[in-house]
Structure 1
Amino acid sequence: MLKQLLSGALALCAAAAQAANPLFPQLYTADPAVLVDGGRVYLYAGRDEAPVGGKDYVMHEWRVFSSCDMAHWQDHGVPLKAKTFAWAKGRAWASDVAKRNGKYWFYSTVEHATVPGFAIGVAVSDSPTGPFVDALGKALVTNDMTKQTDIAWDDIDPAIFVDDDGQAWLYWGNTVMKYVKLKPTMTELDGPIQVVAAERFTEASYLHKHAGTYYLSYSRDFPEETVYMTGPSATGPWTPRGVLMNRNEGVNTVHHAVFDFNGRSYIVYHNGKLPGGGEFRRSVAVEELRYKPDGTIEAPIAQTTAGPAANPSPACRP
């Protein structure tokens, strides 16, 4: 009997070790962002705190995790909260992170306390795990700065991209995709806000570069699917390439980020596959992403429970 119990326990442990997705079973997490630095992957996510049966997104803080091999993740806790921004009412929605000039810049969605609607804030830290502090003392983008729609949530989901020449670009939006050039300070707009004509755009725009090609991906329709376009520069012109990831089951959103690590490429996203999960209790997962010889992506990318194989980085710093 004891032998059978031990065998069963070992089998359960082996199964658990293989089931890499969702990545953080101890928490409900959403809206992943990624920074690769020092041979280590840093993954930032908002924490879903809605109760069972909740009908709204309850999000007060962001969490940060890191990995040297894409298989084992260290929890570094809370690098900042929505209330890190004194001018914000709350709502720790989607974010993105970049490194420039030896500092780490965190661009986030929060609800503004005095300007009606959502806004984009920017925080800064000397470490990828924080703590982050408000870098500007006010919002970088507020709802009254963009007049393309009359909704309160059209300035959400910031995606920060720093090109090889050091130029930073910020993409964001809901219903209308917007972008702007940033000054070297990373806290000032460098020119007017521009609009991208993206087919059936909903939200979650994301810009990355691979082998000289620029990839602009985003969530389309609602419930959302992830699609992408390619272009010769950070501002296009863009050629639609099709679906990158299909819709979730039971969760309307599928917010993503794409990155390279230790010779392989990956996509992080969220679904509702943790026990008790759903629309307001989401879970972050990851898959390997592969490019074809012509530069397009092998897609649609399937969601798996196993996730990608381990990829230990010899350059990973302790």
Structure 2
Amino acid sequence: MKDYGNPIIRHKYTADPTVLVNKDALYLYTGHDEPPDGVDDYVMKEWLCFSSTNLTDWTEHPSPLKATDFRWAKGDAFASKVIEHHGKFYWFVAVSHAEKFGKAIGLAVADSPVGPFRDAIGQALITHDMLPPTANAKANLDPSVLIDEDGSAYLFWGNGECYFAPLKADLTGLEGKIAKVNLPEFSEGAHIHKRNGIYYLSYGYGHPEKVGYATSSDIEGHWEFKGIINEIPENCETNRPAIVDFKGQSYFFYHNGALPEGGSHRRAVCVDYLYYTADQAIQPVLMTKEGVVDAGL
């Protein structure tokens, strides 16, 4: 599909981007806002998948995963994270649990980045009863995963409070206790990445949400708040970042409400350039309508 500039996907409402580089392509996974006419609320039943080799021409792949593909879930396809591990593709998702209180985090797996994906463990990876008593009903939202150079895997997530836990080597369970990460104005939408030995934890800051970030030299902290990456997106109260390096350039994926009849419940994924300073700080990202049309990939 050729439709240059931001938003990058225009024929469907998309939200909560997560990205994966595999071989020569970048795979974009999104939520799918589809509230009926007259309904102004979150209605998300499935995740979508698109791929590109230049970030301007996108190929849509059939929906690789639905919330109800997890038999223990009753629906709601919230923000997610896809990673590659030992030749397989693992999709960490947030859904509503059918039998237990609150939201839950599930894990799906596939042999291809475009699926089909299947439930990897037959039950939720994280449920509300595993959290501290202060956790709200939506606490198990927006998982983000990093696999370090030594193969250790770590999960970050949360709503209202940010949580952290090490994962087992096969990713199907927790390796240790759940800990809280103290971050200023943490709302939701955690995203973890590493660059030049520094861990970067970006997230929805305040409400309406900007994107703030903190850094650490140790995955377990201490985290130092560094500032705001981007401001409140156009016509949208939420903001979920995804940061990736692709073909020698860093990019910042996010969503706004800029499509016709769009808004906080009819969102649209965008991408702009991201740059680091000489001292490894992230420069504020300029949200543009042009996007990366001149990326030259």
Q: TM-score, normalised by structure 2?
A: 0.97
Q: 1:72 to 1:310 in 2, by over 3 A?
A: farther
Q: Deviation digits for residues 143-174 of structure 1, max 9, x if unmatched?
A: 11112425210111000111111111000000
- Cross-structure match for 1:65: 50
Of 134, 140, 146, 2:119 maps to 134
Supply the distance in 2 between the matched residues of 1:163 and 1:39 (Cα, whole angstroms). 22
1:123 aligns with 2:92: no
**Partner residue, 1:288:** 273
Cα drift, residue 141 of structure 1: 0.2
Residues in 2 aligned to 1:124 and 1:70: alpha-carbon distance in whole angstroms: 25
Q: Distance in 2 between matches of 1:169 and 1:150?
A: 20
Partner residue in 2 for 1:169:
154
Letter of the 1:294 counterpart: D
Which position in structure 1 is the counterpart of 2:206? 221
- Of residues 146, 158, 164, the one that matches 2:143 is 158
Is contact 1:70–1:310 with CA below 8 Å preserved after alignment? no
Count of residues in correspondence between the two structures: 297
Kindly indicate which of the two structures has a greater share of residues assigned to helix. Answer: 1
Secondary structure of 1:144 counterpart: helix
Amino acid at match of 1:140: L
Secondary structure of the residue aligned to 1:60 is: strand
**Which structure's CA Rg is the greater one?**
1
**Identical aligned pairs, as a percentage?**
43
- In structure 1, list runs of 5 or more residues that go unmatched: 1-15, 314-318
Distance in 2 of aligned mates of 1:291 and 1:18? 28
Contact 1:70 1:312 in 2 (8 A): no
Q: Equivalent residue for 2:229? A: 244
1: CA distance, partners of 2:133 / 2:280 = 33
Aligned to 1:266: 251
Q: 1:259 to 1:288 in 2, by over 3 A?
A: same
Alignment-derived partner of residue 40 in structure 2 = 55
1:81 partner amino acid: K
User: Residue 215 of structure 2 contacts residue 223 of structure 2 at CA under 8 Å; is this kept in 1?
Assistant: yes
Matched, 1:46 2:31: yes
Residue pair 2:251, 2:273 contacting (<8 A) in 1 also: yes
Letter in 2 for 1:138: Q
Unpaired runs of 5+ residues, structure 2, are: none
- Structure 2 residue corresponding to 1:212, chosen from 186, 194, 197: 197
CA drift of 1:302 comes to 1.7
- Residues 65-84 of structure 1 mapped to structure 2, 5 A cutoff: 65-84=50-69
Which of 262, 268, 290 aligns to 1:306? It is 290
Aligned residue identity for 2:274? L
Q: Please report the RMSD computed on the Cα atoms of aligned residues, expressed in angstroms.
A: 1.5
Q: Deviations over 1:175-220 (max 9, x none)?
A: 1100100011111100100110111111111110112211111111
* Structure 2 match to 1:5: none
Q: Per residue, is there more strand in 1 or in 2?
A: 2
The whole-number CA distance in structure 2 between the counterparts of 1:48 and 1:250 is 15
